[in-house]
Structure 1
Amino acid sequence: MLSIIIPVFNEEAQLPKLLEHLSVASAGLIKEIIVVDGGSTDRTARIAKDHPKVFYLPSDKGRAVQMNTGASIAKGEILYFLHADSFPPVHFDQLIIDAVKKGKKAGCFQMKFDKNHWWLNLMGQFTKVNHISCRGGDQSLFVEKDLFHEIGGFDENYKVYEDNEIIRRLYIKKQFTVIKQWITTSARLYNRLGVWNTQRLFIEIYWKRRRGATAEELYSHYYKRVNA
């Protein structure tokens, strides 16, 4: 069964929608939902604590740290890391378990945005391709718990790009699959910065990493652009 791990920071608007969606979309194969809070100052903690099917876990801030913290207490055989603004397909838990039974110990769903824009629609089509250049955290990530611990979990040096970094190690293990169902994720960063500015930022981060930029350099560049 699945342990769902959701890292959050000030997600009072998104978290209730996701928790409701999970209750409707699940095939009943969820062992637990762990919400790992990196120090929210809004009502996120109260929402999680008041939900009868959620285990609330405080943590230091940083998605890599938060996801490792959640994984450290997870009881399920499969870990499913999910962003608070990403909504997996109907019976996502059954789809993940079926993939693992077929020998695929890690993977994600193909992804579409909740914004109808031709470029974002095109980017969604690329997520069908099982290649590392088409991956990202908004597609969610499932991984068998033993494999997660074998590769050392998330690299906590990364405050951004942490999903891509662990996925790279999973591709090296030749364990990664893309389930041919759609997860829908929010385009809120694209709405905030603009489609082209956001896409340019992601391309810059990708190539900086390819050229050997450190985790701290990626973090500095990302937040300088996002908070400009």
Structure 2
Amino acid sequence: MVTVSIIIPTYNEASCIEAVLHHIDQLEPAPHEIIIVDGGSSDNTKHLIAAHQFRLIDSPKLGRAAQMDLGAKKASGEILCFLHADTYPPLDLVNIVQETLSDEVVLAGFRSIMQGSCNQRMTSFHNRVKTYYAPFIYNPYRASFKGLRLLFGDQLMFCKKEDYTRSGGFNTEMEIMEEADLCIKMNRIGRIKQIDHKVYSSDRRVAKWGVLKSNIIFITIATLWALGVPNKKLARIYTHIR
């Protein structure tokens, strides 16, 4: 059986991390390892993690790209799963990822369903379709003929460690759109797939901004990225408009 490592980047996630870790405890079969890479939390996050006896790594650099890349390098599993701290995977996660990856499919992700304080059907629908329309904005040829899909963090991306390493992995200098950048790299090796299984993510940010504003932000940032706006400038724009 292929071994699976789950990598979770955290930074001040005390409000949600405990429930997610309790959920992960119930995965069947259990993953080979769970690695949590903390970016210097100042709240109760690390204390809550310690109660579960998962592997905790302190990252010298804050940022999801840097934290996930560090976790990937430390992982000993053959498959890497990149899980956000507010996302709940299916309980048969290990079987699903083992069955999905092949010589043709090198990177995959789930359908992301937003849940929480308000109706998020629009956002959940947009999460599903942007995997397909966003690549056409970036590169219509690769989207049409080379299996390019753009996956995002709340879709629980997963791949073989050897393919991750071969692609060059996450760009640790990126502050935003690091998952899309990884998709571009991985697509040079093989096809990318959104599978017909669901993960459930907290709508805390979408609820704070509002459904319409949130989706306008997502579309704007993805479009500017595809047009080549520098990443640091893109991060400043994102911080300003949100």
Distance across 2 between alignment mates of 1:42 and 1:28: 31
Structure 1 residue 145 displacement after superposition: 0.3
Distance (whole Å) between structure 1 residues aligned to residue 101 and residue 124 of structure 2: 28
The answer on whether the counterparts of 1:129 and 1:178 sit within 8 Å (CA) in structure 2 is: no
Structure 1 stretches of 4+ moved >3 Å: 127-134
> SS of 1:159's equivalent?
coil
Pairing partner for 1:22 from 21, 24, 27 = 24
The residue that corresponds to 2:63 in the other structure is 62
141-150 or 100-109, larger mean C-alpha shift: 100-109
| Structure 1 residues 27 and 222: alpha-carbon distance in aligned structure 2, compared to 1, 3 A threshold | same
Is contact 1:111-1:127 (8 Å) kept?
no
- Give, in whole Å, the separation in 1 of the partners of 2:120 and 2:227: 30
Aligned CA RMSD, in angstroms, stands at 2.0
Indicate if the aligned counterparts of 2:168 and 2:185 stay in contact, CA closer than 8 A: no
8 A contact 2:7–2:82 mirrored in 1: yes
Letter in 1 for 2:123: L
Instruction: Identify the range of structure 1 (181-190 vs 119-128) with the bigger mean alpha-carbon deviation.
Output: 119-128
Distance 1:12 1:151 in 2: 33
1:212 is matched with which residue: 228, 232, 236?
A: 228
CA contact (8 A) 2:131 2:151 kept: no
Secondary structure of the structure 2 residue equivalent to 1:79: strand
CA 98–184 in structure 1, closer or farther in 2 if over 3 Å, else same: same
- Report the Cα distance in structure 1 between the residues aligned to 2:68 and 2:128, rounded to whole angstroms: 27
How far the C-alpha of 1:110 sits from its partner, in A, is 1.3
Structure 2 residue matching 1:33: 3-state secondary structure: strand
Q: Structure 2-normalised TM-score?
A: 0.86
Q: Secondary structure of the residue that 1:108 maps to in structure 2?
A: strand
Confirm or deny: 8 A CA contact 2:5 2:31 kept in the other structure.
Answer: yes
Shift of 1:188: 1.2
Q: What CA distance in whole angstroms lies between the structure 2 residues aligned with 1:183 and 1:63?
A: 19
Query: Structure 1 length normalisation: TM-score?
Result: 0.91
- The amino acid across from 1:167 in the alignment is C
Q: Is the 8 A contact 1:209 1:218 kept in 2?
A: yes
Other-structure match for 1:119: 122
Whether the 8 Å CA contact 2:9–2:36 is kept in 1: the answer is: yes
Contact 2:36-2:56 within 8 A present in 1 as well: yes
Partner of 2:95: 94
For structure 1, the residue ranges without an aligned partner over 5 or more in a row are none
Of 175, 185, 200, the match for 1:159: 175
- Find the aligned partners of 1:151 and 1:102 in 2 and give their Cα distance: 15
Aligned amino acid, residue 56 of structure 1: L
Matched residues, percent identical? 28
Residue identity opposite 2:126 in structure 1:
M
Report deviation, 1:198.
1.3
Partner of 1:141 in structure 2? 157
Q: Are the equivalent residues in 1 in contact too, given 2:134–2:222 (CA < 8 A)?
A: no
Q: Distance in 1 between matches of 2:191 and 2:105?
A: 6
Query: 2:5 aligns to what?
Result: 3
In structure 1, what residue type is equivalent to 2:9? P
- Give the 3-state SS of the residue equivalent to 2:105 in structure 1: coil
Q: Could you tell me how far 1:159 is from its partner in structure 2?
A: 0.7
Secondary structure at 1:105 match in 2: strand
